[in-house]
Copies of this chain bind each other. A is one copy, B any other.
Amino acid sequence: MGEAILKREQVRDYLLELIETHPAGAPIPAERVLCQQLSVSRPTVRSAVEELVNTGLLVRQHGRGTFVARAKITQEMVSGPGSMSLPRASGTWASRVLEHARIPAGARVGRRLRLSPAAEIHYIARLRLVDGEPMALEHLHVPAAVAPSLTLHDMESGDFYDRLREHGVHVLEAVQSIEPTVVNESEASLLGVPVLAPALLFERLTTDADGRQVEYVHSIYRGDRYRIMSRLTLGASPRSTVDVQARIGGSGPF
């Protein structure tokens, strides 16, 4: 069997050559033509084309043809399995609960969670540590109406979203923003950095399958120890890799 030459791969490689040698927007041969040229069946051709369409190298247009795509850049950052708590970094994470209460949402949080300021929420503040060093300060808010019986243990659990699921909440997606900021006095003392030191502010709003806001997270990450790494791939990306990293020791290539 040694070779194990798959026709599908042959077709794909042939198409990759075409893509390399043709400018963006150029049409590639019709599927039925490719079948003849390469002596394969149409489903095989279609399968190969589909792969390249999925990776963004080709664009299909019904009734017109298939074309070399304009190169697009995709950037992927994948948090590890389990906790949806992006960002995630190498090293050993731990967390220390600073505060935990059931309180009214207030104006700021209520607006983000689309709640009345008087509506109750579960609130937890925790210091996140990497290898014993403070790395981030995280404030988590979950509407009490969403999960009335949520316990502290639930919120501390690594599989927080699995806990929510047990409470009948199916987490669907989240929108996250990242922006630079500087730490204030209390943040500085908790994180062990000088006041006004650079930091990253993460805000995340999580939505469930019913469209309800189920979580609002506000996190401050130390700028001197934390950076976001990402790999950008031009066009063909089989699967880009992770790389949200915490700098613990040396400074590395960057």
Contacts and interface: CB of A to CB of B under 8 A. Distances in A.
A54 B253 CA distance: 32
Interface string A161-191: 1000000001111111111111000000000
A23 to B, nearest CB: 9
B173 A231 contact: yes
Interface string A64-86: 00000011111111110110101
A31 interface: no
Contact of A198 (B171, B182, B227, B230): B182
Interface string A219-254: 000010011111111100000000100000000011
A152 interface: no
Interface of A: 20, 43, 54, 70-79, 81-82, 84, 86, 112, 161, 170-182, 196, 198-200, 203-205, 223, 226-234, 243, 253-254
